[in-house]
Chains A and B, each alone.
Chain A
Amino acid sequence: MYVTESGQKVFVVDGHIHLWDARPENRRNRYGLTFIESFWGSHVGMTPDEQRWNFDRFCYYGIEGAAKDLFVDGYVDAAIMLPTNLRDFYVEGFNTIEQCSAFKNAYPEKVVLNGRFDPRDGQKGLDALEADFEKYRLKGVKLYTAEWNGESKGYTLRDDIVAPYMEKCLKLGIKNVHIHKGPTIHPLNLDAFDVRDVDYVATAFPDLNFIVDHCGMPRIDDFCWIAGQEPNVYGGLALIPSFIHARPKYFAQMMADLLFFLGPDRLLFGSDYGITSPKWIVEKFMAYEFPDDMAQEAKTQLTLDVKRKVLGLNAARLYDLDVPLECRLPSMAASHHEDGEVLLGQSDVQPGGAIRASA
């Protein structure tokens, strides 16, 4: 929980965290090194100097390290874990649901453990999802559409194999589907960069929430366009708030676009931990105000209420988390629908058919 100077309490949900193991003994091959090296570049580039870790800690911080960075230092009341297998690179996997569940067991009240599935696994995958649900009572899953699987170098959410999995999620009550649409990570389709398939599946399954992690970056312009049209598409911000230190101008531009198109009720804060820690991001975000021109572009200033929604209340709503009374907005339930309509009513003409088609 973050407390402002005037004593206002802000409930913080870190919507995007990992507990990974990239230690040398867990690396299967050189890919295991170069994969964590790419993340390391992000850590070094975005983290303020005095908050930077050394490479060994970056490769593995363990349950205690994570608990300190998130719950003690980082103002985080609840953290959503998104598993990543990557068994081709790491002997025991990089950040598997089993690895993540140890953190959940240690902090059951604070950790939300999400699962994963790959629709190309057919019936076996459906059974595994159900078994994971029985074991972990999942409320969300994470998908990597660009992941390799045998001969396949990726799939899209339009593929026929996807619908049975979405129906299974509905049946089990797993209502939050996170989709990695961000900077390319391997194994991946060499040309995967599209966000259009989210549009399709979001229309087909209006009762599921689709959280597009990293807001489609580096295709944030395309993502904004799609998300603006689909009320059940959410922006998982992870990566975007991390610009606030090293590149505040670009942080502001991206946030302004996202607020304009999605409104303040459909954006979920995430630090992408351990790429970097939430502590400094939350502090800088709470202190940040848009310059006037950006507030105009966004159609809103980053008011305390907007910050509260983005930092925690939106994720709490999706994941049914209990928000202490003093952190709630009295107006939240009433205003949230209206805001969306006002924002969507702002016309934003797409400049040409071709770009629209590529969006």
Chain B
Amino acid sequence: MQALEPRETAELVPDLGEERHAEVIAALGDVLDPELDEPVTDMGFIESVTLRTDDVEVVLRLPTYWCSANFAFLMATDMKAALEHLHWVRGATITLVDHFASKKINQGVSARKGFSEVFVGEAQTGLDDIRRVFGQKAFLGRQERLLRLLAERGGIEDALKLSMGGLRRLLDHDDQEIRSLALRYLGMRLHDGGSVQDDARAFTTLSGLPVSSATYADHLRAARRVRSAAEANAEMCRMYLSARKSHPAPGCRPEDREQEAEP
């Protein structure tokens, strides 16, 4: 996770500044880039966090000026909601910078509007559809990571027999890697893949069929394709963002921002 220095800590309650900053970062750590299924904090998208007595401002900067507006909108909306869950936060402002749709997105998110209201006539797909499609991809990607690791440790046959109860018990496993992958998969498995009763199978297709030893090779392969496409995208985003920070184009540095004028 990127280290972020608080810009301004709570003036009236200086002792709380550090603690609250950590809470903000933790809350943002639960917000995922829906396309990449990775936390916005891990991706380095948070440029700064500013704390005041009971509100917080977060500056969001993406890898390019032309990153998809729909994903930017989703992340900004989710960030605002995550921060407003903190008991001491009365209001959270998300400011997307250096982006072609920043004005619309910032105003829309601040006014709690929907994407299609903000981009009237420009967007044909609702964000719920996009969330659903990428939620399904995340289901497969997370499942593939956990299943592959369990198969390496104890063989594929045993891994496939894992029940939902067993999956829940993995959250207390000694191995930190297994705990973390199990938690991530469980988060998606509770929404997709059929019954979530303790005796139901943990590794299922999206439609709820158990993955069997006859089908797992094909299934794993297809799931890996989905996962590796998302990972390659995430790496591309990281490369672009890191370049944007290390080699800014003349006229596109943070100090050039006020020139921003939408034609």
Chain A facing B: main interface SS: helix
Specify which of B70, B122, B236, B259 lies most central, judged by the most chain A CB atoms within 10 Å of its CB. Answer: B236
| CB proximity of A245 to chain B, nearest CB, Å | 10
Q: How many residues of B contact A (CB 8 A)?
A: 59
Determine whether the beta carbon of B229 is less than 8 Å from that of A40.
no
Determine whether the beta carbon of A37 is less than 8 Å from that of B122.
no
What residues of B have a CB within 8 angstroms of the CB of A41 in the complex?
63-64, 239-241, 243-244
Determine whether the beta carbon of A219 is less than 8 Å from that of B229.
yes
What residues of B have a CB within 8 angstroms of the CB of A354 in the complex?
132-133, 136, 206-207
Determine whether the beta carbon of A352 is less than 8 Å from that of B207.
yes
Determine whether the beta carbon of B246 is less than 8 Å from that of A44.
yes
A-B CB contacts (within 8 Å), total count? 158
Determine whether the beta carbon of A40 is less than 8 Å from that of B207.
no
Determine whether the beta carbon of B223 is less than 8 Å from that of A35.
no
| CB proximity of B83 to chain A, nearest CB, Å | 25
Determine whether the beta carbon of B136 is less than 8 Å from that of A355.
yes
Q: Which of B136, B226, B251 contacts A33 (CB 8 A)?
A: B251
| CB proximity of A241 to chain B, nearest CB, Å | 13
Q: Which residues of chain B in 6-21 are interfacial with respect to chain A, using CB atoms and an 8 Å cutoff?
A: none
Q: Is B35 an interface residue (CB 8 A)?
A: yes
Q: Is A122 an interface residue (CB 8 A)?
A: no
Q: How many residues of A contact B (CB 8 A)?
A: 53
Q: Is B24 an interface residue (CB 8 A)?
A: no
What residues of A have a CB within 8 angstroms of the CB of B207 in the complex?
352-354
Determine whether the beta carbon of B122 is less than 8 Å from that of A189.
yes
Q: Give the nearest-CB partner of B240 in chain A.
A: A41
Q: Which residues of chain B in 208-245 are interfacial with respect to chain A, using CB atoms and an 8 Å cutoff?
A: 215, 218-219, 221-223, 225-226, 228-229, 231-233, 235-236, 239-244
Determine whether the beta carbon of A250 is less than 8 Å from that of B231.
yes
Q: Which of B37-45, B48-56, B123-131, B168-176 contacts A (4 or more CB under 8 A)?
A: B123-131
Contact surface of B with A, Cβ cutoff 8 Å: 35, 63-70, 98, 100-101, 119, 121-125, 130, 132-133, 136-137, 140, 205-207, 215, 218-219, 221-223, 225-226, 228-229, 231-233, 235-236, 239-244, 246-247, 249-252, 259-263
